[in-house]
Amino acid sequence: MAAQHEPNDSELWQAWSEFERHEGDNRRSIELLIRAAESDPTNIGLNSHAANRITRFMLEEHVRLAERPMWTSAVQQNLEDEWESLDPDPLARLGWLHYVNNNVERARDCALRGLSIDSQHEHCLNIMEKVRQAEADAAARRER
């Protein structure tokens, strides 16, 4: 009922998301976290946290590639809109969203921007490693 009365209260959506997470309904928890991010699109911390949870969810649940954009699009766009304000952590999380959506070029862009701020950022370095591997795999397929 509270969500009906305050549909744009991101804190409410986050609290409900945490409740569902503790109850073991990870899918519902992610859906509610996305709703929280939609309610507060300029909150970089919230959107970065959501990106991290969404990425892990998609990999753990083996979400099909065709279904991934419906899970990632809102948070991805929110972070893209804040591009100039992002530090390496949200850049890496945005990069992982792009990577799991098979957008290797944009994942690289995110990682490179993060590394330009912190050349040793662990997660940006991990993305670059995955990007290099994906490019090597694509090159090997082209040679066959």
pTM: 0.90
With a cut of 80, say whether residue 31 has pLDDT above it. yes
pLDDT, tens digit, 9 for 90 and up, residues 11-29: 999 999 999 999 999 999 9
SS (H, E, C) the chain: CHHHHCCCCHHHHHHHHHHHHHHCCHHHHHHHHHHHHHHCCCCHHHHHHHHHHHHHHHHHCCCCHHHHHHHHHHHHHHHHHCHHHCCHHHHHHHHHHHHHCCCHHHHHHHHHHHHHHCCCCHHHHHHHHHHHHHHHHHHHHHHC
Residue owning tokens 């899970």: 71
Q: Which CATH superfamily is domain 2-143 in?
A: Tetratricopeptide repeat domain (1.25.40.10)
Distance CA 72, CA 70 (A): 6
Boundaries of every domain in the chain: 2-143
pLDDT, tens digit, 9 for 90 and up, residues 96-122: 999 999 999 999 999 999 999 999 999
